[in-house]
Structure 1
């Protein structure tokens, strides 16, 4: 249901999320930060909050301008490096209980179909991710690395070797790291398990409205 004024019967009505994870975190009086560059800012704010446009009472937001280029293969680094340094500096004087960050490179550069540019984009994200993981773990924090879909890992169609610029339907990684996390490969998981895992890491009880389960329970 994309619009309310359509004079048709809608097969799939809009779903309302009453208890997005950000709302639960806020209800506990905990501080949270959402940070992204322009291209993905709605994803870490409006969409992550279940369609709620305004921030919660203890939610801060940082948007870093995306490069002004016609297509992102011309600037595959996008604003990832600037965002990484900004976040590291922000943490020096303002601690948060939960931080959500989105690197847009793999998706946005993947959409251009330029494989060499996508390689540069991935290398940039790899570097920034390593910097942030090392920084957060040195502070005693835990880090989850995941995605909601693929793109740059599948840029050639298997049938005819033509360029593919669309999202893939491959399983996405879920990597959990921290000072108290024991290395282990889990057999499977679902995107619905991400929020319960976040809540368990933060010591917050999972509400009955969530139908996923914490992946930590499988350790």
Structure 2
């Protein structure tokens, strides 16, 4: 923040920081609209619950006086308006005729607050009249939003995993609780909202707690139950499951809670592997990034709450897996997971997939 403030001074005070808020409030993605409203109210000037004399002062005050023992860190900084030193009033807020450029390049977290600002029929909380804004987003957050897009997404990918499986006439099932459901549906399908033919989905609700260290098991039990039911039904040739626990609880920085989160995930995966074994299935168990494996930052020093760049493991499990004649390749990358799944299913890899099966022989 000091670097940003220094750059503003260097540029001749071209612009000022008018509000500060953590992603816990403004970047919710789980329909916690009471959180989003707090950020919206400060940005729109409808209501100001917290103020500070500068952005740095706002952050430092929160560091010194966190909301609770479980709400520490930048993501929990309350929605705060910065005061003008001359007038004692908030520096600025959005008004009719303003231009807004949303620099967040993710596709999930900016959606809710963007809807609040741009949708005519918005009803998720009482926002008052819609502001007349020129609203530009870094990328397409969601189809149908009335915004200007700075960097449109590249052309749709062809022959992604779900599409190939559907084209082969194989039914598939996707399951994750609400915190991670887009990761097995919308994102997994290359920003496609609609399921592919023969694609069924389940989305149990994540627990409504302030932070997930308060309920580290989250809704793993229901994710497991629904996915196990899908496996045992014999209806599906592909079941895709995401357990949110290690990542979402890992973000809290609580080692005891993250341990419980990993235990809950381990129990769920164990049940699913047993179910697969009973029907002669195979499983690919992997992650797309690290988090829970590093809970302490020795440089700070303090809790490590972010994703890591550590390599992730991948396990291929199945009683009928031909161990004697098949070897895993060395190395590998995430792009190799889909070709590996197709290999296990006996389906050809399309030319559009640049990855290779992790199985040779």
TM-score by length of structure 1 reads 0.91
Q: How many residues align?
A: 214
Contact 1:76 1:120 survives alignment (8 Å): yes
Corresponding position: 1:81 with 2:217: no
Contact 2:232 2:279 survives alignment (8 Å): no
Please name the residue that 2:315 is paired with.
175
| TM-aligned CA deviation for residue 208 of structure 1 | 1.0
Please name the residue that 2:350 is paired with.
207
Contact 2:276 2:282 survives alignment (8 Å): yes
* Correspondence list, 1:50-199, <5 A: 50-181=190-321, 182=323, 186-199=329-342
SS in 1 for 2:176: strand
Contact 1:18 1:50 survives alignment (8 Å): no
Q: CA RMSD in A?
A: 1.8
| C-alpha separation in 2, matches of 1:90 and 1:205 | 24
Contact 1:73 1:117 survives alignment (8 Å): yes
TM-score by length of structure 2 reads 0.57
Q: Deviations over 1:104-152 (max 9, x none)?
A: 0000001111111000000111111111111102210000101111111
Bigger CA radius of gyration: 2
Which structure 2 segments of 5+ residues have no match?
Answer: 1-137, 141-146
| TM-aligned CA deviation for residue 88 of structure 1 | 2.1
Please name the residue that 1:23 is paired with.
163
Task: Spell out structure 1 runs of 4+ moving beyond 6 A.
Answer: none
